[in-house]
Each structure stands twice: as C-alpha cells, then as structure tokens.
C-alpha cells in the first residue's frame, strides 16, 4: 500500500513538473512574441520617421515654403540637377540681361499689369540646369528694398546647353508717380539670385516709371515667377 502511494506521489510530482515546464515554455514564447512584435513595431515606426524626414526636405514642401516667404537666396529643390545628370547653373556661370523671349518691354505708363523679363544665358561651357524661383530684390532710388513674393506657378526644370538661355518673368503693377492715395516704388536696381545659389548679381532697372508699392501685401500685383525656358 505504501509502495503504491509513493509511486502515485512520484507520478503526480512528474505531472506537475511537466505542467510547470510547459507553462514556463508558454510564457517564454509569449514574451518572445511580444518582444518580436515590439521590435517589428519599433522598426516600422523608425522607417516611418525616416520616410517622414525625407518628405520634410522634399522639393515640393520646400517650394511651397519659398512661395510664402520673401527670401533672396532663392533656395529650392536641389534634386533637379542630380536627377537630370547635369550640374545646376551657378551664378558665375550665367550672363544676365533684360528682355522677354519674344521681345517687347513693359509699358510703365499703363494702368494694368505688365511683364518684364530677365534673361539668364549659360556661359559656363557645360550643360547645366535651373529649377525653381530665383530671389529678386527691388532697390529704389532712395535705397528702400522690396523682396518680391513668389507666384503660384509650379516650377519645371530648365536644361541649358552652352549658349542657351532661360528667362525670369516678373509681373509688375505700374502706377503714376503723382497719383493720389498711392505710394510709388521707384525702381533703380534689381538684385537677382539664381535658384539654389547664395551669391547674386545686380542689374540696373532700364524701364523707368514706378511700381505700386505693395511690399507689405499678401497678394501683391508685382511678383516673380519660376525660371522658364527661352
């Protein structure tokens, strides 16, 4: 009888040991699974953060920011030149002059919006690209400055072979100098910084007249457009 009880006790102890081991294994598996899920989640979150960081510096976002501001260093997307296989055009590799692709000049005696153009010709000896908005600062005869806002036009990449030219269209709103209840801005010089560059050139204003001073306006009638072909 005692032998049978001892044998039953040993069997019960073995069963309990097996159950304990099984429970321990299940807990470990559960812990491993949670760790794996946590690691997977952390990896996904890290990837998402990395993707988000990439979007933060994407060309689209930066361009939209530039349209809201009035910077003169004209920082835009720096990926355009890389994607085209050509280096971007640098300030010193361009020649600058006034003129529209199809000729003509703004009528500064008009009462409606006019267009002037700055020509950028590639004299670098190699193909280069321009993409985005240049920085444009008007300087008045009295030394006042006005950093032009950007239009809502979507920029495109312009590729220039040696000797080819692009243009920067400026939309202007002329005004009579002596018109009552208006403030004329008498342009003397124009400072231009090509897209993605930090150095600038200064051109004399050749058209005379005056522009309606809307330097503090949210939607002025005088603004700069992105670089265009021709």
Tell me the per-residue pLDDT of 128-151, one tens digit each, with 9 for 90 and over: 999 999 999 999 999 999 999 999
Asked if 91 contacts 200 with a C-beta cutoff of 8 angstroms, the reply is yes
Its pTM stands at 0.65
- Mean pLDDT value across residues 89-96: 98
pLDDT of residue 84: 53
Please list the residues that pair with 190 across neighbouring strands: 138, 203
- Mean pLDDT value across residues 24-49: 37
**C-alpha–C-alpha distance, residues 48 and 41, integer Å:** 10
- Mean pLDDT value across residues 164-189: 92
- Residue 64 predicted with pLDDT over 70: no
> Around 107, how many Cα atoms within 13 Å sit in the side-chain half-sphere?
5
pLDDT of residue 177: 81
**C-alpha–C-alpha distance, residues 55 and 46, integer Å:** 14
**C-alpha–C-alpha distance, residues 124 and 122, integer Å:** 6
The pLDDT-based confidence of 85 (bands split at 50, 70, 90) is low
Cα→Cα distances 23→19, 27, 30, 154, 197, Å: 6, 6, 10, 64, 67
Of the candidates 170, 91, 96, the residue with the CA atom closest to the CA atom of residue 130: 91
List the beta strands (DSSP E) in the chain.
87-88, 94-98, 114-122, 128-131, 135-140, 145-147, 157-160, 165-172, 184-185, 187-193, 201-204, 211-212, 223-224, 228-229
């Amino acid at each position: 009888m005692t032998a049978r009880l001892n044998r039953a006790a040993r069997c019960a102890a073995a069963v309990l040991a097996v159950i304990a081991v099984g429970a321990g294994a299940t807990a470990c598996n559960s812990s491993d699974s949670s760790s794996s899920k946590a690691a997977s989640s952390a990896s996904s979150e890290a990837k998402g953060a990395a993707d988000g960081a990439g979007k933060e510096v994407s060309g689209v976002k930066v361009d939209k920011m530039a349209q809201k501001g009035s910077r003169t260093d004209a920082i835009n997307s720096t990926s355009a030149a890389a994607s085209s296989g050509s280096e971007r055009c640098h300030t010193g590799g361009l020649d600058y002059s006034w003129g529209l692709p199809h000729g003509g000049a703004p009528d500064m005696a008009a009462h409606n919006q006019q267009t002037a153009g700055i020509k950028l010709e590639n004299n670098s000896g190699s193909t280069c690209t321009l993409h985005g908005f240049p920085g444009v600062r008007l300087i008045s005869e009295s030394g006042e400055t006005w950093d032009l806002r950007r239009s809502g036009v979507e920029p495109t990449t312009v590729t220039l072979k040696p000797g080819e030219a692009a243009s920067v269209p400026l939309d202007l709103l002329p005004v009579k100098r002596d018109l009552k209840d208006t403030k004329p801005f008498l342009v003397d010089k124009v400072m231009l910084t090509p897209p993605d560059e930090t150095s600038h050139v200064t051109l004399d204003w050749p058209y005379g007249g005056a522009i309606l001073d809307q330097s503090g306006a949210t939607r002025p009638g005088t603004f700069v457009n992105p670089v265009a072909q021709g």
